[in-house]
Amino acid sequence: MKALLYDATLCIGCKQCEQACASENHLAYDDKVAAQETTSAYKYTAVVQRGEAYMRRICMHCEDPTCASVCPVGALTKTALGPVTYDGDKCMGCRYCMAACPFGVPKYEWDKLDPRVRKCSLCEKRVSAGGVTACTEACPTAATKFGDRDALLAEAHERIKAEPGKYQPVVFGEHEVGGTSVLMLSGAPFATFDMRTSFNEELPILTYRVLSRIPDFVGLGTVLLAGTWWITKRREEVAAAEEKEKTHED
């Protein structure tokens, strides 16, 4: 299992990771996007600054992801290497993953005619080819590192042990929501960055809560949404056919 280790104490806030991510995923990146401290359908990672301290926002690639467990059509998958991937062709746009994610990660392309859910893929293609993520490659200070989860976890604990005054005494992602494929070290408390730090419930209970908030989850809701999706697709097909016919007539 692979993982990404982000050590905020080494981060200089240069945002090269953001830029590399945008380039890797063919997303527009300019000063306006760089100034945004939140992730969006057009920005999969964001560097946040609080005083002198930095933090990255990114999908945590949970080991037991609630986004995947609530998806009725299996559009989100935890792969054996670590990334939690998304298949837009399977997605029917119900957005239950957005309600379920404990970190508020998946975002939706609200302004598109054929909207999809968007989030960091942990550069799954690069990783499955034996490479590292684009954000790791671009980081000039090694604040973002990629490798085997066990080795990175051991290294993170070593760093805390070697300089206990420098770090918060926790590797964020080691145990949170059952463990994640993104591990984080920080000098400032994680709560400084409005990060959720309390997860009293076990993950299946979290998932159950989401499901129970959605009445008749797999039944009526899914049928209606699937129906809406089918009708929308059908309309598009009809419109395309009509357009083709018109062109032939001209």
Closest separation between CB of residue 109 and ligand SF4, Å?
16
Q: How far is the CB of 169 from ligand SF4 (least distance, A)?
A: 22
* Contact region with ligand SF4 (CB under 6 A), list: 39-47, 197-205, 221-229, 240-248: 39-47
Residues in region 135-154 near ligand SF4 by CB under 6 A: 135, 138-139, 141, 143-144
Does 58 bind ligand SF4 (CB under 6 A)? Our answer is yes
Question: How many whole angstroms separate alpha carbon 223 and alpha carbon 125?
Answer: 33
- CA dihedral sign, ordered 185, 188, 190, 195: negative
Per-residue string for binding with ligand SF4, 60-99, x by CB under 6 A?
xxx--xxx----------------x---------------
Cα atoms in the Cβ-side hemisphere of radius 13 Å centred on 152: 25
What's the CA gap between 205 and 90, in Å, rounded?
26
Q: How far is the CB of 45 from ligand SF4 (least distance, A)?
A: 4
Considering the complex, state which of residue 62 and residue 92 has its C-beta at the smaller distance from ligand SF4: 62
The CA distance from 240 to 86, in Å, is 27
Residue 81: count other Cβ atoms within 10 Å of its Cβ: 17
Nearer to ligand SF4, 16 or 186 (CB): 16
CA 114 to chain centre: 20
Three-class HEC string of 91-157: CCCCCHHHHHCCCCCCEECCCCCCCCEECCCCCHHHHHCCCCCHHHHHCCCCCEEEEEHHHHHHHHH
Distance CA 248, CA 250 (A): 6
Between CA 28 and CA 3, with CA 65 as vertex, the angle to 5 degrees is 65
**Using an 8 Å Cβ cutoff, are 92 and 221 in contact?**
no
**Shorter beta-carbon distance to ligand SF4: residue 95 or 232:** 95
- # residues contacting ligand SF4 (CB under 6 A): 42
Among 45, 85, 168, 186, binds ligand SF4 (CB under 6 A): 45
Determine which residue in the list 5, 41, 55, 59 makes contact with ligand SF4, applying CB under 6 A.
59
Rg (CA), the chain: 20
Compute the least distance from the CB of residue 201 to ligand SF4, in Å: 14
* Interface of this chain with ligand SF4, residues 109 to 128, rule: CB under 6 A: 119-123
Residues 13-32 interacting with ligand SF4 (rule: CB under 6 A): 13-17, 20-21, 24-25
**Positions that interact with ligand SF4 (CB under 6 A):** 11-17, 20-21, 24-25, 44-45, 47, 54, 56, 58-62, 65-67, 84, 101, 103, 105-106, 119-123, 133-135, 138-139, 141, 143-144
